[in-house]
Amino acid sequence: MNKKEFNNVTPAKVISFINMKGGVGKTTLTVNLAYEITEYSNLRVLVIDIDPQFNTTQSLLNHFSKLDIYEELQLKSDTIVKVFEKSNKKKATLSKGEPDNESTLPIQNLNSQLSIIPGDLYLTNEIDSTRADRLRPFLEKNDLLNDFDLVFIDCPPTWSLYSQAALKASDYFVIPSKLDEFSLYGIKILLEKVEDVIDSNKKLSCLGAIYTMISENKAASGINRKQTENKEKIESFFENEAIEEFNIHVKPFRSILTFHNRLSYESVFYELQREKKEAVCQEMQDLRDEFLSKLKIMIKRKKEVDIDGDKNLQLI
Ligand SMILES: Nc1ncnc2c1ncn2[C@@H]1O[C@H](COP(=O)(O)OP(=O)(O)O)[C@@H](O)[C@H]1O
Ligand SMILES: [Mg+2]
């Protein structure tokens, strides 16, 4: 397949995949979107695994037959730990928010377009509030926003200095969400946190919510009755309180991801389902296309807003 040529995105756009709820498909989405985009286009993607569960790291290293190097990377702290650690010898000269400038960057190239900063179980939750300010300067100082087009951050499901760091470093965030009884809580808590971060990172906006693990259904919407009710509650929240209370605009993606048993116990890679079930792969490809076109429109709008000085940015 010939890869689609896109204009390089400069500087790279940084996108967090985040929800204050676990098991909603954040990791599955981060891994597959990154992979699909690099397979389909010439874009270069850096994935940052900021979740101490490091499932993204395991999935990607395993897929590219590099899982055996992980132990050594962790021993040398060639992981996300390096981005946040304090260098004792340079401590005195480091100013607030400045990352350590180690000689080797904790980046593993998986192929010529896809790279990862591996996650680490030993990412401690030390009380040191300057940590949250280190990620964006790390990306900027090491020229990573020129080396890549997109930077995806897979976030933990809890609020910590690291999820804060991810949002502070991001241009956009994406909310993967199931449509279950308590999905709305995870989203509400997230927007409360995002609102605080926007005070110091004004450019942060939402690229959209992506519904995951939906029960396959013959209804025209493809979504069953109970999930449709939960969806309506969530969307009413997006259209009302999210804007009135938090001034955050969230639009759901049209593309949804349905529940496929195999993905829950086999590899999370959609691509590997191609032979058994083409339709599974198609879902992720549709999502990839919608993701790229939304991003393109958002980048264009933000540019126009910057030119016009209009702060009242609306989503598509
Ligand atoms: N579409 C899907 N169908 C079935 N299982 C899925 C699907 N997407 C993800 N899963 C499974 O659900 C679990 C949680 O997904 P994960 O992406 O790890 O969520 P999170 O990162 O939000 O905790 C994993 O075991 C994953 O394999
Ligand atoms: Mg995860």
Structural domains in the chain plus CATH codes: 13-308 (3.40.50.300)
Measured distance CA(83)–CA(179) in Å, rounded: 35
Measured distance CA(212)–CA(179) in Å, rounded: 8
More confident position, 281 or 102: 281
The predicted pLDDT at position 102 comes to 47
pLDDT band at 2; cut points 50, 70, 90: confident
The predicted pLDDT at position 315 comes to 41
The predicted pLDDT at position 48 comes to 98
The predicted pLDDT at position 224 comes to 86
The predicted pLDDT at position 101 comes to 47
Percent share of the chain, pLDDT over 70 = 90
Measured distance CA(279)–CA(261) in Å, rounded: 14
Least confident of 4-8, 164-168, 214-218, 263-267: 214-218
Mean pLDDT of 105-112: 97
Percent share of the chain, pLDDT over 90 = 73
pLDDT band at 32; cut points 50, 70, 90: very high
Measured distance CA(57)–CA(55) in Å, rounded: 5
Using alpha carbons only, what angle is made at residue 22 by residues 16 and 27, rounded to the nearest 5 degrees?
50
Task: Give strand pairing partners of 253.
Answer: none
**Collapsed DSSP state (helix, strand, coil) of residue 235:** helix
**Collapsed DSSP state (helix, strand, coil) of residue 225:** helix
Nearest to 210 by CA among 244, 172, 243, 261: 172
User: Which among 153, 264, 271 is the best mutation to test ligand 1's pocket, defined by most ligand atoms within 8 Å of the CB?
Assistant: 264
CA-22 nearest atom, ligand 1: 23
Ligand 1 contacts (CB < 6 A) are 22-28, 55, 157, 212-213, 257, 259-260, 263-264, 268
